[in-house]
Each structure stands twice: as structure tokens, then as C-alpha cells.
């Protein structure tokens, strides 16, 4: 995977280090969970002792209490750091927040008992994004990951806030959570980034495969748009479009040389874009 990546956002709780074999710049976010009142307090106390340069983020609305979400987002805003979290990956997220029901509610009840901040008063299962907007979570440094189950109003809220979306089609397929409304995102002026989630939910953390799967799921979306999601879409989401995402004078982005029999009969730029986005990883990928 890393032999074709120049800039990567890694979300987890370990430092994956650097790679001498490729010119890869890694930006890491330390992910926090706090699905109960006790866990929230413990997480807040831990954050207070973190070094300023450590970028902290939240896991998801269903695993992070409203108070912890606000504390982390305020820290990110004060330090001008990215804030990334899972959103609308599963329909039961809305059920937990609005009614205290569904698979997440059962999971939390088994582990935290009655020490839970959910459900949240005043919201319903279709307004999770509005709830996040009221908390002050959505802005240009927010990356919403997955976003499979969004209605038109939620997409508009995200677009109006200038927040970004990162799609993980391989993970969605593996977990059978549904297919994102990609055309609706594009229609609202959102060019998503393309990601993989993790090996816990994706057998192949490979952006070539993510592009291929997205192209098969959304044949009406142009190959150029899909390639843009894997390049400039990610750079914009990370606030690094001045350095990465396109081949322009002054940018850090570099050329890749690829070889594969799939490209032997390519006769036009349109065919090339189509092969790039549906054929998976080429046999040979090298930095120039």
C-alpha cells in the first residue's frame, strides 16, 4: 500500500513510525473513547496531561459522550489540529443517541450498566449530524469517516460547515453496513477523501482496491472523480492541498510510474483513468 502514498492520516492509539522505503508523510491522531460517565472523566483527565503536539481525536458519536466530544474538539480547535471520527457507519448509531436502543445500546449496557449518557434528549434518529452541529463539532478541520447513512439535510449541514468526508468502501462491504450515497455527496459540492479504515474491518488496506470497489458500486460516477477522491480529496481533508493531491509546480507531490498488462491496449486518457480506478493495484508501482 505505502509504495504509492505520499501523505497519510493514521488514526489509532500507537505510533506507526516512519518508512524509509518511500517518501511518506504520516500525520497521526490519537483516538479516544468515552462511552460512559466514568470513562469520559478518565479520558478528560488523561488528555489534560498529553503533550500539546499530540493530536487527539474521538472515535464516534456512539462511543464518545457529548462532553468528551466537546472537550476534544475544543482542544483541536485551540491547537489548530484535525478532528476525525466515525459517523453514520451503522443505522443503530441514531437509535442509540435518540432512543437508547439498538446494538450499540446493548453493547454499552453489558459493559457500563446504567452509567451511560445515552440517549441524548431532543434528537431523533435522523438528526445525528444536527446534534453534532449543535455541539460545535463540524468545521473545516473535521473529517467525518464512512457517512453511509446520511439524509439530504445531514449532507447539507456537513457541506455548509465546510467539513470533510472520508469514504471507506472496503470496510463498509466487509461489515455489510451499506453503500454510501456518493452522487448525493457530489451534488452537494463535497468531494470525499478515500480511506481504508483498518485491518479490523478491511482485509485489504489498499487505496487501489478502494478505488476499484467504489467504481464498481457507483458506475455512473466518473473515473476522474474517483481518482480525485484518492488524491486531492484526501489532501483537502487534511488541509494540505497546497502541498499534495495534484501534480503542480511547487507541490511536494511526485510522479508514479506504473506498469501492468491492463494498460497495454490503452489508447486515450479516458481509458487510462478508467483502468486506473477499476483494475486494482498495478503489477509495478515506482516513484520517479
Query: Mean pLDDT per segment of 10 residues, for the chain of length 288 residues?
Result: 80 75 83 95 96 96 96 97 97 93 93 88 86 96 98 97 98 96 98 94 92 96 97 97 93 88 92 93 88
| Cell numbers at 99, concatenated | 432512543
- CB distance 166 to 88 below 8 Å: no
- CB distance 145 to 195 below 8 Å: yes
Q: Report pLDDT for 131.
A: 95
Q: Report pLDDT for 19.
A: 63
The residue behind cell 479520558 is: 43
String of b and e for 142-161 (b: at least 16 CB within 10 Å)?
A: bbbbbbbbbeeebbbbbeeb
Q: Report pLDDT for 2.
A: 62
Q: Report pLDDT for 122.
A: 86
Phi, psi of 11 (to 5 degrees): -120, 125
Q: Give all domains of the chain, ordered by start, each with its CATH number.
A: 2-253 (3.20.20.140)
Q: Report pLDDT for 167.
A: 98
Amino acid at each position: 500500500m505505502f509504495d504509492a502514498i505520499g501523505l497519510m492520516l493514521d488514526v489509532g492509539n500507537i505510533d506507526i513510525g516512519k518508512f524509509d522505503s518511500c517518501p511518506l508523510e504520516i500525520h497521526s491522531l490519537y483516538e479516544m473513547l468515552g462511552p460512559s460517565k466514568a470513562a469520559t472523566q478518565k479520558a478528560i483527565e488523561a488528555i489534560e496531561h498529553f503533550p500539546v503536539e499530540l493530536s487527539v481525536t474521538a472515535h464516534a458519536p456512539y462511543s464518545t459522550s457529548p462532553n468528551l466530544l466537546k472537550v476534544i474538539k475544543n482542544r483541536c480547535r485551540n491547537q489548530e489540529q484535525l478532528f476525525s471520527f466515525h459517523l453514520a457507519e451503522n443505522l443503530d448509531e441514531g437509535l442509540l443517541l435518540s432512543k437508547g436502543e439498538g446494538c450499540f445500546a446493548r453493547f454499552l449496557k453489558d459493559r457500563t450498566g446504567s452509567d451511560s449518557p445515552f440517549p441524548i434528549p431532543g434528537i431523533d434518529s435522523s438528526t445525528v449530524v444536527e446534534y453534532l452541529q449543535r455541539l460545535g463539532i463540524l468545521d473545516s478541520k473535521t473529517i467525518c469517516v464512512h457517512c453511509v447513512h446520511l439524509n439530504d439535510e445531514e449532507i447539507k449541514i456537513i457541506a455548509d460547515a465546510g467539513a470533510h468526508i472520508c469514504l471507506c468502501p472496503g470496510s463498509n462491504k466487509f461489515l455489510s453496513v451499506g453503500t454510501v450515497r456518493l452522487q448525493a455527496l457530489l451534488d452537494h459540492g463535497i468531494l470525499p477523501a478515500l480511506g481504508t479504515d483498518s485491518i479490523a474491518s478491511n482485509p485489504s488496506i489498499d487505496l487501489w482496491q478502494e478505488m476499484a470497489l467504489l467504481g464498481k458500486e457507483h458506475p455512473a460516477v466518473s473515473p476522474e472523480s474517483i481518482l480525485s477522491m484518492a488524491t486531492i480529496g484526501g489532501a483537502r481533508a487534511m488541509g494540505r492541498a497546497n502541498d499534495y493531491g495534484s501534480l503542480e509546480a511547487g507541490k511536494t507531490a511526485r510522479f508514479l510510474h506504473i506498469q501492468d498488462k491492463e494498460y497495454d491496449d490503452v489508447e486515450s486518457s479516458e481509458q487510462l483513468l478508467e483502468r486506473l480506478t477499476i483494475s486494482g493495484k498495478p503489477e509495478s508501482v515506482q516513484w520517479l
